[in-house]
Amino acid sequence: MSEITSALVKELRERTGVGMMDCKKALEANDGNIDAAIKYLREKGISKAEAKATRETREGLVYAYIHSNNKIGVLVEVNCETDFVAKTDDFIQLCKDLAMQIAATNPLALTPEEIDPAIIEREREIATNKAINDKKPENIIPKIVEGHLAKYAKEHALMEQEFIKDSTRTVKSLITDVVAKMGENVKINRFARFSIGD
């Protein structure tokens, strides 16, 4: 079994907002694996970030970002519960990170469910035809297509994307970490990306 260091416990606490003893127990139960411990805490209903997800967010910022070449601009509305949190450096940094993410990756929607069904159908058709052209066995084509669609959604839905500053995390986990740290619910409400020539 891996040694559960105080640094590991501290990291889990910072990421979840859960008490030290619960963090230590979660790490012990999952052989020191942070991601497995986070999942364990959520399943046990201990994670405070999850509990805050239902609270109303009526404050926040509309953050504007213009890329250095002046050819890409982003507006993103990020909401929180109080005006106090909206003015903190951590919240402003989150808004900036999200705007840069949107500028860099050009997501189609916030979540996979919000991607236009016509686009998903087009991707389904492309993946099916490619599998047929590659002479894949007929019985595995549906699995190949579903795998392609899952990957497509992950790449094009903002919340599922790998965070550009740290590919080991998703945008969703970045927000969860901020919620745990600030003790308030935080949500991306909407965003728009503008690019010269689009």
Task: Compute the distance between CA of residue 180 and CA of residue 48 in angstroms, rounded to an integer.
Answer: 7
Q: What is the pLDDT of residue 75?
A: 96
Return d(Cα 91, Cα 59) in angstroms, integer.
12
6-46 placed in CATH 1.10.8.10: yes
| pLDDT(197) > 80 | no
Report d(CA 160, CA 189) in Å as an integer: 15
Domain covering 116-156 assigned CATH 2.50.20 in the classification? no
Average pLDDT, the chain: 86
User: Are the C-beta atoms of 18 and 176 separated by less than 8 Å?
Assistant: no
Continuous H helices in 30-161: 34-43, 48-52, 83-86, 89-105, 117-133, 141-156
pLDDT digits (tens, 9 = 90+) for 95-134: 999 999 999 999 999 999 998 999 999 999 999 989 888 8
Average pLDDT over residues 16-35: 82
**How remote is the C-alpha of 172 from its chain's centroid?**
2
Question: What is the model's pLDDT at position 105?
Answer: 94
Q: Could you give the CA distance from residue 20 to residue 120 in angstroms, rounded to a whole number? A: 43
| pLDDT value of position 4 | 85
β-bridge partners, 65: 74
Domain range 59-110+157-195, CATH architecture: 2-Layer Sandwich (3.30)
| Distance in angstroms (rounded) separating the CA atoms of residues 88 and 195 | 29
Each domain of the chain, given as residue ranges in start order, spans: 6-46, 59-110+157-195, 116-156
In the prediction, which pLDDT does 81 show?
Answer: 87
Residue 55's pLDDT band (boundaries 50, 70, 90)? low
Q: Is residue 1 over pLDDT 60?
A: no
Question: Between 39 and 151, whose confidence is greater?
Answer: 151
Q: Are 112 and 157 in contact (CB under 8 A)?
A: yes
What are the beta bridge partners of residue 118?
none
Percentage, residues of the chain above pLDDT 90: 36
Find the helix packing angle between 6-16 and 171-182, rounded to 10°.
Answer: 90
Q: Is the pTM of this model over 0.85?
A: no
User: For residue 34, what pLDDT is reported?
Assistant: 86
Cβ-contact 183, 158 below 8 angstroms = no
Torsion angles phi and psi, residue 72, rounded to 5: -130, 135
Provide the Cα torsion 189, 13, 23, 98; round to 10°.
30
pLDDT score for 46:
57
Burial of 125 (0-12, 13-18, 19+ CB in 10 A): exposed
